[in-house]
Structure 1
Amino acid sequence: MLNCYPLWKYILLILVFFLGLLYALPNLYGENPALQIASINNSVITDKTILIKIRDELKKNNIVSKSIKLENNTITALFKNTDIQLQARETLINIFRNNYIIALNLKPATPKWLRKIGAEPMKLGLDLRGGVYFLMQIDMNNVLEKLRQQVIDSLRYNLYKNNITNFTINKIKKTTDKIEIIFSDTNTRNQSKKYLSSFYSNVIFSNINDHSLKIIITNNSQQKEYEYAVQHNINILRHRVNQLGIAEPLVHRYGTDSIVVELPGIQDTVLAKEILGTTATLEFHLVNTHINNTVNINDNNHLSEDSEIKYTRNNIPIILYKNIILTGTHIISSNVNRDEFNRPQIQIALDNFGGNIMTNFTNHNLGNVMATLFVEYQNTGIKDVNGKYILTKREEVINLATIKSPLGNTFCITGMKDFNEAHHLSLLLRAGTLSAPMQIIEERIIGPILGMHNIIQGLKSCLWAVISSIIFMIIWYRKFGFIAITALIINLILIVSIMSLLPGVTLTMPGIAGIVLTLSIAVDANVLINERIKEEIKNGYSIQRSLHKGYQYAFYSIADANCTTLITAIILYIIGTGSIQGFAITTVIGIATSMFTSIFCTRAIVNLIYGGKQIKKISI
């Protein structure tokens, strides 16, 4: 029989609509201003006395909270509005700042019964939720300078390994990719060139004169180093944002040397800027005890090529070997505690590779002195000729220790002046070391009022699009117009529910534009179906036959049109970034749901009303 669906299809459609409505429901409850309190030394909070102390402090200062609870090893306090939230933070930060991170955030006000079934609201982007936007630029000259230094160290090692010792390696000035090696005679130069050429494929060797070689780092090697620096910094920034307790951060590449960091929901940028914008790490060097450590800076010319002068906080010069034993990139955790003299110390844990390096080195250098060098890049506030801020490198020897026994994956460093400094350094080390210094070149703060304004404007655009479609469809197609509008509303509910369920999907203003676009596509599909039915009726077919042929033949046109749009959206997602990807995601989801609702949902309603009946006229 034409135009009749079996019972199981109706049950399936009702089930899909019910689940869609259920998982779209959390978006109606909004968000609560919140404080997230997490341990600064990466330890879990299990002691409920901290919870009680926070509750008592808020009560003592007449600050009313909606709830305070311990979950996922962090304490979350919810408040009625942002004024109370900020007041609570000011109160708590004076008491707990030395041991805990107190981050401003927004938490969904979803009822517990919905959260139990995994129903959460859509993740809103920066333009809708409010927050802070950072555009951070990587110092690519520093990346290339580090690569050149690695090549120099490797060249020196391989020449010594081949028993060639009478040479001098210099960096060619005003370049960042060229190195010069000066030998004692031509034969040594030719022998070295032949030997080194078999080791290196990432550099080009050429003769300068009878005694010198010029080494140029290839463009391909430079590009690989650039790519690594960008990807490594993106990963580290994401890890650092997680340390701040910020939900749904967006960290993505922008251009060739920049990274965009969007922190939706954050309202206080001081801690974020401090953590994100700081390039701090530790370097472990062996102290050159063969030279008198009382040498001052004027005696720098008397140092050997493998040594350099660094200073302690008290401006005491320490002569270190240039070769770096280990850097902070191998640190996987760092916790602050006290030594036997009640002074702050940081307990360092290394990954397996770093642990092996440290074990082997200390095992072969028992009795020698190892220095811990703190390295940080700071913004001077002065711009160069290209308009970029100039970064300065600050280095400080914070610890000297005699190697009395082999060190392994864990050890402690001291030398911090107080616990505040130790906590700060521990957080930076735990959050990861950037492969190259970065600076914030653009910062935009979007308040929650502006975000709400964008949401209202976006919802208005959706509402007017739906109202316009309703008016047109009802006037032009009458009862079939009502059927199409019912499918349109179901389509919107399904889009919202799917976006709420999918992890990593964030709704932005371009995403709202994608939703409006797919709603128009859904209306267009129903127009094609209705016009085809009218055409079949004009050709003299019965009502039942016209309904059947209308849906059957219109399906191919609808599928072709949607597939074309789908391919375009997928390409946009692959090659696009940020807001373009947001538009592409909502478009892809909308196309899938519009196909389902425009064809199957409307067909089910039509079959329910007209299927299996003798009808001579329909309202279309």
Structure 2
Amino acid sequence: MRWGSVLRLFAVLIAVAVIAVFSVQPVLPNVSWLPLTKDIPLGLDLRGGVHVTLEAQSTPDAEVNQDNMNQLLRTIERRVNAFGVSEPIIQQEGRNRIIVELAGIQDPDEAVRSIVKTAFLEFKTEEGQTILTGADLKNAIESKDSLSGQVEVALELNAEGTRKFAEATSANVGRRIAIILDGQVLQNPMVQEPITGGKARITGYADLPEAHTVAVLLKSGALPLKTEVIEKRTVGPTLGAESLDKSLKAGIVGIIAIAFFMIGWYRLPGLVANFALIVYGLIVMAIFAGMHVVLTLPGIAAFILSMGMAVDANVIIFERLKEELKSGKTLRSAIDSGFKRAFVAILDSNVTTLLAAAVLFYFGTGPIKSFAVALSIGILTSMFTAITFTRWMLHNTASTGIKNSKLYGA
């Protein structure tokens, strides 16, 4: 027996055990026994949130058509993403309706007000002449003066806006220029001197969150159509949590059954495959946490499906290994040959699945995209664990001196 190989295997077992114990913790509602990385955000079906249906209406200035609806969708998406909502669902329904689903929103009413607010910015002279609008804005960001403690929104104008503002302030020294948002005068300062730097400030906010909301609205641009909320409801996570609990229990039973089957049919390689599945699960969860993949019920379904494909890859490899051992090859030669001959079949099945996931991601929305992303991550990870980690484990197992072909399923 080669003790170097034994020590390597033992070190890997200890490392994976430590990672499994200390890097994961239960976070899902009503599933206190489920270990999951705490940094994985939850979707609307698991975390709850708000569901809003918006209806666009024609006005004398803008008619409801597909171009305006596309612009409306983009504007709402920019606003929602700026509020830091995890994987919002924003999609058109029919000719003039938009569905918005936001997970984990603490104040649904404020979120809805921010989504549908027109946010039309104007700079007007004392004569009522509009010299600038939100279209001349390049950026807006909230800030707090370190000396006075005053909360403000700093505006940065684009090149055309800078030119207009310089001309207007030069012509109105000693007079007032009002800053107006949705018809409400925010400030009416007096111009002391020409402003040529293309920057302005809006003050008078109670705190940074209020200023942040205004900055987000200004950066996203004004809505191109009049929009009204025709339905708003809070979505609770209860139904999703119950479905998740049942799905996970069924998944645990299935995984245990697979583990016993792999050990009973393939013996020592089956034990290696079961350990590789644990590593596979930890890697997938680490990727989910690192990429901030939003976990939904479809995402969990994709994770279980990709785990099944990981098992399938090991089955193909071990069947080839058995055939190679039956043909009289040595254990190490049989392992190398089995992996080499199984690789083409594994690559083919995984590539076709990845192509299907790419189609789902490109044409799908919301939960369908979540399913596609989770499936793609799972497939790529399963290929890594099956082709590299399982092979490394089998080579080290063979190096320990355990070479009885019966222990390898033959």
Normalising by the residue count of structure 2, what TM-score does the alignment of the two structures yield? 0.75
In the aligned structure 2, how far is the partner of 1:424 from the partner of 1:469? 51
Change beyond 3 A, Cα 1:554–1:396: closer
Task: Look up the match of 1:128.
Answer: 46
Give the Cα separation in 2 of the matches to 1:532 and 1:471: 20
| Cα distance in 1 for residues equivalent to 2:10 and 2:388 | 11
User: What's the offset of the Cα at 1:589?
Assistant: 1.6
Separation in 1, partners of 2:302, 2:265: 26
148, 159, 167: which one pairs with 1:360? 167
1:522 to 292, 310, 318: 310
User: How far apart, CA to CA, are the structure 2 residues paired with 1:577 and 1:464?
Assistant: 31
Question: Contact 1:536–1:549 at 8 Å: present in 2 too?
Answer: yes
Greater fraction of residues in helix: 2
Give 1:361 deviation, angstroms. Answer: 1.3
Aligned residues of 1:329 and 1:432 also touching (Cα < 8 A) = no
Task: State how far apart, in whole Å, the 2-side matches of 1:20 and 1:572 are.
Answer: 35
The Cα of 1:402 is off from its aligned counterpart by 6.7
Please name the residue that 1:569 is paired with: 357
Q: Are the counterparts in 2 of residues 332 and 351 from structure 1 also a CA contact under 8 Å?
A: yes
Is 2:216 aligned against 1:431? Answer: yes
1:342-362 CA-to-partner distances (Å, cap 9, x unmatched) read xxx996632133454223113
Deviations 1:424-465 (A, max 9, x none): 985653232342144334434233444543442342243133
* Equivalent position of 2:80 in the other structure: 237
Residue in 1 that maps onto 2:32: none
- Kindly state the Cα deviation for residue 517 of structure 1 after the two structures are TM-superposed: 0.5
Deviation at 1:520, TM superposition (A): 0.8
Give structure 2 stretches of 5+ with no counterpart: 30-35
> What is the match of residue 584 of structure 1?
372
Asked if the contact 1:366/1:404 (under 8 Å) is kept, the reply is: yes
For 1:517 and 1:574, locate their aligned partners in 2 and report how far apart those are by CA, in whole Å.
20
Q: Deviations over 1:188-243 (max 9, x none)?
A: xxxxxxxxxxxxxxxxxxxxxxxxxxxxxxx9xx83x654443233223322x24x
- SS of equivalent to 1:279: coil
Partner residue, 2:200: 410
Whichever residue aligns with residue 81 of structure 2, its letter is: R
Counterpart of 1:198? none
Q: Shift of the alpha carbon at 1:496? A: 1.3
Which residue is 1:90 aligned to? none
Q: Residue 489 of structure 1 aligns to which amino acid in structure 2?
A: I
One-letter amino acid of the counterpart of residue 565, structure 1: T
1:294-351 Cα offsets, whole Å, 9 max, x none, are xxxxxxxxxxxxxxxxxxxxxxxxxx45x553348737246899xxxxxxx9966321
Aligned to 1:83: none
Matching of residue 282 in structure 1 with residue 67 in structure 2: no
In the other structure, the counterpart of 1:350 is 155
Equivalent in the alignment of 2:87:
250
| One-letter identity of the residue aligned with 1:430 | A
| Separation in 2, partners of 1:412, 1:596 | 53
- Aligned pairs (5 A) from 1:215-614: 223=67, 227-239=70-82, 241-242=83-84, 248-251=85-88, 253-255=90-92, 261-288=100-127, 320-321=128-129, 323=130, 325-327=132-134, 330=137, 332-333=140-141, 349-353=154-158, 354-366=161-173, 370-375=177-182, 395=183, 405-407=193-195, 409-410=199-200, 428-433=213-218, 434-436=221-223, 437-502=226-291, 504-541=292-329, 545-611=333-399
Quick one: which amino acid aligns to residue 131 of structure 1? G
Cα distance in 1 between the residues matched to 2:328 and 2:406: 12
Code of the aligned partner of 2:222: S
Equivalent positions of 1:87-98 (< 5 A) are none
Taking the aligned partners of 2:21 and 2:229, their CA distance within structure 1 comes to 37
Contact 1:514-1:584 at 8 Å conserved across structures:
yes
Q: CA deviation at 1:512?
A: 0.5
Distance in 2 (CA, whole Å) between partners of 1:346 and 1:616 is 75
- AA at the equivalent of 1:510: P
Tell me if the contact between 2:125 and 2:177 (Cα under 8 Å) persists in the aligned partners.
Answer: yes
9, 30, 41: which one aligns with 2:27: 30
**Is the 1:249–1:261 contact (alpha carbons within 8 Å) kept by the matching residues of 2?**
no
Over 3 Å counting, the alpha-carbon distance change for 1:22 and 1:438 in structure 2 is: farther
Question: For 2:44 and 2:371, how far apart are their aligned partners in 1?
Answer: 14
1:382-424 deviation per Cα after TM superposition (whole angstroms, max 9, x unaligned): xxxxxxxxxxxxx45677677665456335689xxxx88x999
Q: Report how far residue 123 of structure 1 moved.
A: 1.8
Bigger shift: residues 249-258 or 554-563: 249-258
Equivalent-residue separation in structure 1 for 2:250 and 2:156 (angstroms): 52
Change (3 A) 1:328 1:603: closer
Give, in whole Å, the separation in 1 of the partners of 2:263 and 2:332: 22
Give the aligned residue type for 2:78: N
C-alpha separation in 1, matches of 2:241 and 2:335: 45
Q: How many residues align?
A: 386
Provide the identity percentage.
29
TM-score, length-scaled by structure 1: 0.52
